[in-house]
Chain A
Amino acid sequence: MNAAPIWAAFRQAFAEAWAGGAGALLPLGFLGGAAVLVPLGIGTESSILRAVGPGIIWVALALSSLVTLERIFQADAEDGTLDLWLQTGAPMAAIAAAKTLAHWLAAGLPLALASPLLALMFQAQASLDLIAHLGLYALGSLAFFFWGGVGAALSATVRRGGLLISIIALPLYVPTAIFGALAMTGGIGSDGAPMLLAASTLFACAVAPYAMAAALRLAAD
């Protein structure tokens, strides 16, 4: 398999995410805003904050990952780049995966990096656990971006497709949100939760690119 087009797609998508101002930081602002406003809304009782914190951060992470996804394939469909990627001879699934991964590195990884800091606002104890949580947030956000990418590919030729992306992607977010929050709250059955989170992320990475490729072919047809 010729990897040169895949690598080129990755670099182009990464450059695009950062072009035209710090568009990639928009989800970060969204995540921060949600995490800052919730304690203001539910009061400062530290036991309550500690209990709801991980759940709130997972929800905020899921929703903020949707903010910029609309553009990753729609821009390509609008400017004609999609036609060129479809004709490189490289598997479209690999190109779609490369683009999604680049987008995740630019917009998703900063979300995961910020999440432990936001956990401190929910009265989480500063400990090594926070570093472990960073890994869980990173895994979870990767799944969010791949599932969101399927929604983005399906709505690539739809104007204002953001709503459509949410409707398609949110049900697919459910396993990740459940296992992610469970892994942190330590409830019943939480022992295997990190593994299940990792498994659901791997499943997303394995399946979503093919769905994206099929959707993008239809978008160009």
Chain B
Amino acid sequence: MTVSTAPLLSASGLAILRGERVLFRGIGLKLLPGEAIVLRGANGAGKTTLLRMLAGLTRPEAGEIARPAPHHWIGHKEGIKPQETPCSHLALWAKAWGSSANIPEILEKMALTRAADVPGRYLSAGQRRRTAFARLLLEDRPLWLLDEPYTALDAAGKTLLDQVISGHLRTNGAIIASMHDTAGFPVTTEVTL
């Protein structure tokens, strides 16, 4: 197997204004397959804004982003409708993305089997997070952008997520995650905003 060394994401000279205030400027990143970048910074430093920019959701005030590879996005809001169950949520996005993944298997991997048919409005915060992370397994995409992935997860959930992320990194995937805690997976670079 040949290991590609082309970056999955590269950005340079990024800057953003929030109102009149410059949140950050001159931020550059380069992410190779198998690498994990962790974004650090106090609340309000602009971690979420930077991630949204890298995902293409927010337009940078200055700078360039090249993202040649498809990516997964897990933000603070899980994107689960009140009437959707974890099972129907995954089925919908599998359909939207043209994925033929085995959904019961993914639900089992994320320890969501018992909650599989519970509508979103009755799911706990942790179960909602697990459902969102289950989307990562629907389709194999090299780049994962995760905004504070440990939020609302219990110890078992964190361990589970660490395993999923580590597995992704081993298979030449790459992640960028904003975090406050110590990461349970090998981190290549830490960027402090």
Chain B binds chain A: yes
Given known pairs A7-B95, A8-B96, A11-B92, the reply for A84 and B58 (CB within 8 Å) is no
| Closest A residue by C-beta to B80 | A79
Question: How far is B77's CA from A83's CA once the two chains are assembled, in angstroms?
Answer: 9
Q: Does B63 contact A (CB under 8 A)?
A: no
Contact among A2, A20, A86 with B98 in the assembled complex (CB-CB below 8 Å): A2
Inter-chain contact B83/A19, CB cutoff 8 Å? yes
- How far does the Cβ of A219 sit from chain B's closest Cβ, in whole Å? 10
Smallest Cβ-Cβ distance to B78: which chain A residue: A80
Give the residues from 74 to 94 in chain B that come closer than 8 angstroms, CB to CB, to chain A.
Answer: 75-84, 92-93
Q: Closest CB of chain A to B46's CB: distance in Å?
A: 14
Interface flags for A5-24 (1: CB within 8 Å of B; 0: not) read 10111011001100110000
Q: Does B59 contact A (CB under 8 A)?
A: yes
- The reply to whether B93 and A8 form a contact with Cβ atoms under 8 Å apart is yes
A15: nearest residue on chain B (CB-CB)? Answer: B83
A47 within 8 Å of B (CB atoms): no
With A16-B83, A78-B77, A80-B75 in contact, is A87–B56 under 8 Å at CB?
A: yes
Beta-carbon contacts under 8 Å, A83-139 to B: 83-84, 86-88
On chain B, the residues within 8 Å of A163 by CB distance are none
- A117–B65 Cα gap in the complex (Å)? 57
B93: contacting residue among A2, A78, A80, A84, CB under 8 A: A84
A84 touches B79 (CB 8 A): yes
Residues of B within 8 A of A88 (CB): 96-97
Interface: A178 (CB within 8 A): no
Cβ of B98 and Cβ of A81 under 8 Å apart? no
Indicate whether B73 reaches chain A with its CB closer than 8 angstroms: yes
Q: What separation, in Å, do the CA atoms of A80 and B77 have in the docked complex?
A: 5
- Residues of chain B within 8 A of A7, CB atoms compared: 95
Judging by beta carbons under 8 Å apart, are B76 and A80 in contact? Answer: yes
In the complex, the answer to whether B97 meets A87 with C-beta atoms within 8 Å is no
- How far is the CB of B90 from the nearest CB of chain A, in Å? 12
> Closest CB-CB distance, B86 to chain A, in whole Å?
14
B156 interface contact, C-beta 8 A: no
Is A45 close to B, CB under 8 A? Answer: no
Cα–Cα distance between A9 and B77 once the two chains are bound (Å): 18
Chain A residues near B55 (CB-CB < 8 A): 83, 87
Given contacts A4-B96, A5-B97, A8-B93, contact A83 B83 (CB under 8 A): no
In-complex Cβ contact of B75 among A9, A12, A15, A83 (8 A)? A83
Q: Are A19 and B96 in contact (CB under 8 A)?
A: no
Q: Is B1 an interface residue (CB 8 A)?
A: no
The answer, yes or no, to whether A195 is at the interface (CB within 8 Å) is no
Given that A4-B97, A5-B96, A80-B78 are contacting pairs, would A87 and B57 also be in contact in the complex, using a CB cutoff of 8 Å? yes
Residue numbers in B under 8 Å from A79 (CB-CB)? 77-82
Contact A221 B92 (CB under 8 A): no
Pairwise interchain contact A4-B77, C-beta atoms closer than 8 A = no
Chain A residues lying within 8 Å of B83, measured Cβ to Cβ, are 15-16, 19-20
Kindly state whether residue A220 has any CB partner on chain B within 8 Å.
yes
**In the complex the two chains form, what is the Cα distance from A15 to B98 in whole Å?**
20
B76 to nearest A CB, angstroms?
A: 7
- Asked if residues B97 and A19 are in contact (CB atoms below 8 Å), the reply is no
Q: List 13 A-B contacts (CB under 8 A).
A: A4-B97, A7-B95, A8-B96, A12-B81, A20-B83, A78-B77, A79-B81, A80-B77, A83-B77, A84-B73, A220-B58, A221-B57, A221-B59
Chain A positions near chain B (C-beta within 8 angstroms) = 2, 4-5, 7-9, 11-12, 15-16, 19-20, 75, 78-81, 83-84, 86-88, 220-221
